[in-house]
Amino acid sequence: HLTPLEHAEAFAPSNIALCKYWGKRQDELNLPVNSSLSISLAHLGSRTVIRPSATGEDKVILNAKVLDLDAPFASKVIAFVDLFRRQQDLPVIVDTRNNIPTAAGLASSASGFAALTLALNQYFQLQLPDNVLSAFARMGSGSASRSIFSGFVEWQMGLHEDGMDSHAYPLDVVWPDFRVGLVKVSTSQKAVDSRSGMKRTVATASLYQSWPAQAAQDLEKLHQALAQGDFTLLGSTAEHNAMSMHATMIASWPPLLYWQPDSVAAMQKVWALREAGIEVYFTMDAGPNLKLLFQAKDQALLETEFAGLEVVAPFSGAAARV
């Protein structure tokens, strides 16, 4: 039996994968084919407030706008709340604000479902441990499992089919000079979301067969890079991993090409800067925007090279949970 509070509030950061999650082995529970590793974006993310609803009806508010309960985001949120309240008649108001700059073209589902999970845990006074919270968040959106934590985070794929061992955990690494730069190419809605993109890749790209082994190898290299503080190994592994994921997308049918001409221009700029001795790498998700990986010493130069670059210092003051 649940005893809700009058008010619960939680924040969760957005995250960028350095070894990507691409492909599910089980659809309903969001169980991944491979383990993944990410960096959380400190203060950039979602803040969610939950209150009881006096009208007896659920209400979903996103960035100060009340949503139609049939809207895709609202119905996903309500289905997620139902995982916690089950059959009990406990109508809620879920109010979420993203402070992710819309110009950055970052997905908000990871931070959104992580913040919702943390807020529900408080609201219903469940006191679930972090690994369980992460496994719950995973069911909202796979990458949300990683947004429960700050810093470098690994989501272990797990082996069990109930999914309880498929959760993330934080890595014990602090890297104050590490920077992530968001390069805006386009903010228009992506043509194919990651859920259907993954499905299509797994079903139609024979190249996908090589992905699990590549991801496992990249994960090992990232662990080595983190243990040794080897930025070159970290950046090159992340870029190679992203390009390998995109290769499987392009090899799907119909082809999935998330890049735009400006994405390619930005990639070429990164490669030219590396030729010139600047240690900068990129990663990309299911969209046209690049995320640059670099060190603090190169920030000023990269800000002049990439106009409008939004820079995040992931280790500058841990993000508060509440």
Interface positions with ligand PMV (CB under 6 A): 17, 20-22, 36, 107, 109-110, 141-143, 194-195, 285-286
> CA geometry: angle at 134 spanning 133 and 138, to 5°?
115
Q: Minimal distance in Å, beta carbon 273 to ligand PMV?
A: 24
Please say whether the beta carbons of 102 and 5 come within 8 A: no
Burial of 187 (0-12, 13-18, 19+ CB in 10 A): middle
* DSSP summary character for residue 94: E
Q: Minimal distance in Å, beta carbon 80 to ligand PMV?
A: 14
Q: Minimal distance in Å, beta carbon 73 to ligand PMV?
A: 13
Task: Give 48 or 147: the residue with its C-beta nearer to ligand PMV.
Answer: 147
Q: Residue 72: CB partners within 8 Å, gap ≥ 6?
A: none
Q: Minimal distance in Å, beta carbon 185 to ligand PMV?
A: 15
Task: Give 11 or 21: the residue with its C-beta nearer to ligand PMV.
Answer: 21
What is d(CA 167, CA 163) in angstroms, rounded to the nearest whole number? 8
Q: Minimal distance in Å, beta carbon 171 to ligand PMV?
A: 15
Q: Minimal distance in Å, beta carbon 202 to ligand PMV?
A: 13
| Beta-bridge partner residues of 16 | 39
What is d(CA 43, CA 55) in angstroms, rounded to the nearest whole number? 33
- Residue 316, SS3 per DSSP: coil
Tokens 């119909």, residue located = 254
Task: Give 4 or 181: the residue with its C-beta nearer to ligand PMV.
Answer: 181
- Kindly report each contact of residues 319-322 with a partner whose C-beta sits within 8 Å and lies 24 or more positions away, as own/partner: 319/11, 319/13, 319/40, 319/42, 319/43, 319/45, 319/150, 320/11, 321/10, 321/11, 321/12, 321/118, 322/9, 322/10, 322/11, 322/122
Q: Minimal distance in Å, beta carbon 31 to ligand PMV?
A: 12
Q: Minimal distance in Å, beta carbon 193 to ligand PMV?
A: 7
Task: Give 4 or 14: the residue with its C-beta nearer to ligand PMV.
Answer: 14
Task: Give 154 or 298: the residue with its C-beta nearer to ligand PMV.
Answer: 154
b/e per residue 122-145 (b: at least 16 CB within 10 A) = bbbeeebeebbbbbbbbbbbbbbb
Task: Give 8 or 157: the residue with its C-beta nearer to ligand PMV.
Answer: 157
Task: Give 125 or 196: the residue with its C-beta nearer to ligand PMV.
Answer: 196
Task: Give 92 or 241: the residue with its C-beta nearer to ligand PMV.
Answer: 241
